[in-house]
Structure 1
């Protein structure tokens, strides 16, 4: 049923991504002549998934009426520049916060892709004689002209018979769930769901009834530790500083960096860890801080604490400053993107400091299968970086409690509090085990009809 209209004229939902992985979220709703794409994410992790980014989009980009984004993380927004370059000419709807964050994240993604292609060609570790980026920074800048900001709770018609509304989801600034009304039916996409007691973000809005739920399942098979993540962070910082080491914290530039700085500022101010140099080596994270300050009504952090979070950090802007950090040595703390070690400046720091036992690598977010972060969690003692093998002898610590995703219990409690069950719930945006665990729990505990859809599967709504 790929790309074909439903012969019965009923609205349909097709899973163009996020159906068998925790990345690449793309969900197509089609009714009569209107096609709405909910999220336009980039695949990350395993090579078989990343290769989907290079394949032609499953439907013609110029046949899509509109795109609506749940939030700015690249696994939900990162394919937009390629879609626009390849012919999509409609609007990309998103909240103001998401639009502003995409304005820094998408060009950065294009720039990093270009730099990686140049490096691969220079050092000869690509199978292609002339490696090409998925898209360029220029492609990304051009795609930003398609963005249209939409307020939370403001219904928007996108074409004949389809209307959507954005609903606060917590998670990161601007993040939303999406309610789509189509052909007399309703579909509720959770997006990435935030946590009820996140230190930075406000909790997600309670769930309202819809005919169909499409729910994320990132942590569908596990719960976050009950131990205070701040205490875990304090322990590792004190341990590493005592032996004169470097604490490397790979952190997503948007969302997780703010959380880490929040905890570090509290630890340093209270004297629970020494006041060692903290370096924020992520121009995007620095820019994102200013965006967060423009939307104080969307998060919990008071202005004084927010200023303190960034005052304590040495902000690293240019490449030369970044390179000097690799010569400095400890004790110090470096925060740098990316959070799953898939690219960015953190890889240079990992190559410089990962081989020394007195240092530590602190993972503070979800590590998708096939990423370097996932390999570290699995006990890898070497990582492939820039075409070479880097030995890892540094201590590896994971702090799951800093995740901005609802865990299995939080997600289940949020879903089960709805006034009336849906006709069916689809578990998406999770590894197979996580998605199936949530499916089984919804069916066994609540009696819901629930499924884990297949990649490219198409269903009637």
Structure 2
């Protein structure tokens, strides 16, 4: 059996792990690279094997860095089955359409305003190409055997993180391979704790926060302070947010604060068609999260939910202090850029970062104190306050990741640390060695192992 790491190795984006056994090829996740340009350019490269020779894609969850390259895979000849949970299918469809639409719009804008280095800017894929992925989805139930082949079985189990997210246990050549996907937190306010593996010969563990412990802070109190201070000064709060789970988490916390009368009665806006649709998916999949139907209804009533871009423009030019949640979470695209074009130069604005910011993204640059930020080919001075609430991450921290391994009844032959930048992954490798004595490796991009 061959394992090839063709994404999310040394980085947190572009998740793709290729397994080859007895002529069968399986891809675990098919994500988009984000962040620094050398990574983004990999999205334009073909896979190291022909897409038409891949038989199955097993999707852990619907975030762009795990499903966003599927339209390219299909465009290059993949005709196999894509297995995932019901909410992941719904989320992935939303995210792929949104991604395609953003790429089409950005290519059109770059051509119109002539700021692309290419003679004609092209989208990585368009909406029609994204739609060609959908007929290939196959929904699976958690904790049930999925027979890919007479000799190959997959089981999907809850991973926390976002709605529908799963870890995958793959039995192949009489070996059990456990793929964590992105691991949620054991004490998440919205999601149930991740299911821990009991047996694994080989483990593929994410390491996004492999060197960090989430602060034990009161995130509601932080939100309360930041919002009250900003509104008191006549400013607007902008919260760049991943449209799935993070947006709903922030909505839930803001709803609690309003119910407790701890934040002012100003407009609370969710400006993300995908975020609005993702909220509907929460309604339809109550067993996947902790909110009741009554909670969902009450939260929905508090927010102005914007889908039409004309409403976005009206909201941007309305000078009334407000709180806006808008995608994308790493400030790499989406409607949050339209808000920042107007508000990043205003000292009374507060931008609250609430999720992981990959290397090279605008969000990371803002957190690192950038004095100016480039949006649609133009530079804007950063006068707004840039604040971070670390405790809202949907990723488990070092303790959660170590805890995920705690119920293994056997000693794995090897643990591969993926989906992490090099330093966090290496620090987690050391910790796993110290705590469990497992043989641990941090694979390089493109590296292949035979097992």
TM-score bucket of the superposed structures, by smaller chain: over 0.9
Query: 2: CA distance between counterparts of 1:329 and 1:240?
Result: 13
Query: 1: CA distance between counterparts of 2:320 and 2:387?
Result: 18
Q: Helix, strand or coil for the counterpart of 2:6?
A: strand
Query: 1: CA distance between counterparts of 2:161 and 2:287?
Result: 14
2:55 aligned to which of 45, 62, 65: 65
Normalising by structure 2, we get a TM-score of: 0.99
Q: Please tell me whether residue 348 in structure 1 is matched to residue 338 in structure 2.
A: yes
Q: Is residue 361–residue 397 contact of structure 1 (8 Å, CA) maintained in 2?
A: yes
1:222 aligned to which of 207, 212, 234: 212
Deviations 1:389-416 (A, max 9, x none): 0111100110110111101111112213
For the aligned residue pairs, the C-alpha RMSD in angstroms reads 0.9
The alpha-carbon distance between structure 1 residues 160 and 19, as it changes in their structure 2 partners (threshold 3 A), is farther
Deviation at 1:102, TM superposition (A): 1.4
Normalising by structure 1, we get a TM-score of: 0.96
What does residue 100 of structure 2 align with? 110
Q: Helix, strand or coil for the counterpart of 2:77?
A: coil
Deviation at 1:160, TM superposition (A): 5.3
What does residue 132 of structure 1 align with? 122
Query: 2: CA distance between counterparts of 1:207 and 1:437?
Result: 22
Query: 1: CA distance between counterparts of 2:419 and 2:247?
Result: 22
Query: 2: CA distance between counterparts of 1:128 and 1:210?
Result: 47
* Higher mean displacement: 410-419 or 57-66: 410-419
What does residue 151 of structure 1 align with? 141
* Higher mean displacement: 345-354 or 204-213: 204-213
Q: Is residue 18–residue 429 contact of structure 1 (8 Å, CA) maintained in 2?
A: yes
Deviation at 1:319, TM superposition (A): 1.0
What does residue 270 of structure 1 align with? 260
Q: Is residue 41–residue 76 contact of structure 1 (8 Å, CA) maintained in 2?
A: yes
Q: Helix, strand or coil for the counterpart of 1:401?
A: helix
Q: Is residue 65–residue 158 contact of structure 1 (8 Å, CA) maintained in 2?
A: no
Q: Is residue 17–residue 27 contact of structure 1 (8 Å, CA) maintained in 2?
A: yes
2:3 aligned to which of 9, 13, 36: 13
What does residue 109 of structure 2 align with? 119
What does residue 3 of structure 1 align with? none
Q: Helix, strand or coil for the counterpart of 1:52?
A: helix
What does residue 398 of structure 1 align with? 388
2:366 aligned to which of 373, 376, 380: 376
Q: How many residues align?
A: 451
Query: 1: CA distance between counterparts of 2:362 and 2:162?
Result: 23
User: Unpaired segments of 5 or more residues in structure 2?
Assistant: none
Deviation at 1:442, TM superposition (A): 0.7
Q: Please tell me whether residue 179 in structure 1 is matched to residue 169 in structure 2.
A: yes
Aligned residue runs from structure 1 range 308-319, under 5 A: 308-319=298-309
Q: Helix, strand or coil for the counterpart of 2:429?
A: helix
Deviation at 1:444, TM superposition (A): 2.1
